């Protein structure tokens, strides 16, 4: 379906041009339709071929229902990316997925656009969203890990902060807002129930 939409998109632009004023139509008509969109249709052919190759590759992989593979796996990174060094350091996976991979296609798209190939701007836009998507995924992952670390710290400092009422400078920054029961035994019972609720972090 995607390949079909990509196939007819340049044609829609071409037919739309026929309804444009004569001055614009004449300028556009000086360009060959197939010369302008040649790389676009080459891209579609490659897109279809690699889609089938990817589908056959997935069919040979272990089943996710047998706990043999992560269902959201995005595949393996090409080894050549690990040979690239930035500022004297080998690029890590995060840098490759957020900068190097989309950057490569950004360069390719810019070159094609420079040579008046319509697919160029399409590749540029896709590379930008590709990078933004991975940056958002890593940001979400960072927040997830930080939440788990905070939960561990809260658990370890629960008695010191809530029960004993120590200053946050002595509890790695943990501080519980709100009034605490005056009786230490009651505070301990309340503290025992904190991690039975998912809202414990909201009390900090």
Residues 41-77 have pLDDT tens digits of 888 888 888 888 877 877 777 776 777 777 777 777 8
Distance, in Å, from the CA atom of 28 to the CA atom of 18, rounded to the nearest integer, reads: 10
Residues 11-26 have pLDDT tens digits of 656 555 555 555 555 4
DSSP 85: E
Look-up of token digits 């009034």: 179
Q: How far is CA 200 from the centre of its chain?
A: 29
3-state helix, strand, coil in the chain (%, to 5): 70, 0, 25
CB atoms within 10 A of CB 157: 20
Residues 114-145 have pLDDT tens digits of 887 878 888 999 999 999 999 999 999 999 99
Q: Give me the half-sphere count of Cα atoms (radius 13 Å) on the Cβ side of residue 152.
A: 6
């Amino acid at each position: 379906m995607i390949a079909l939409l990509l196939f007819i998109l340049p044609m829609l632009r071409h037919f739309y041009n026929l309804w444009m004023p004569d001055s614009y139509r004449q300028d556009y008509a000086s360009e060959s339709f197939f010369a302008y969109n040649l790389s676009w249709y080459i891209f579609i052919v490659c897109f279809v071929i690699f889609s089938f190759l990817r589908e056959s590759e997935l069919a040979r992989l272990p089943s996710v229902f047998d706990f043999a593979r992560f269902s959201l796996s995005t595949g393996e990174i090409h080894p050549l990316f690990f040979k690239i060094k930035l500022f004297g350091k080998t690029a890590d996976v995060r840098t490759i997925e957020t900068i190097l991979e989309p950057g490569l296609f950004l360069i390719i798209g810019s070159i094609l656009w420079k040579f008046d190939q319509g697919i160029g701007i399409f590749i540029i836009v896709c590379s930008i969203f590709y990078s933004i998507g991975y940056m958002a995924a890593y940001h979400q992952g960072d927040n997830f890990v930080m939440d788990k670390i905070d939960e561990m710290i809260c658990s370890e400092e629960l008695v010191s902060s809530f029960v004993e009422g120590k200053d946050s400078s002595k509890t790695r920054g943990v501080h519980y807002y709100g009034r605490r029961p005056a009786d230490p035994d009651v505070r301990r019972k309340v503290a025992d129930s904190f991690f039975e609720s998912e809202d414990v972090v909201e009390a900090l």
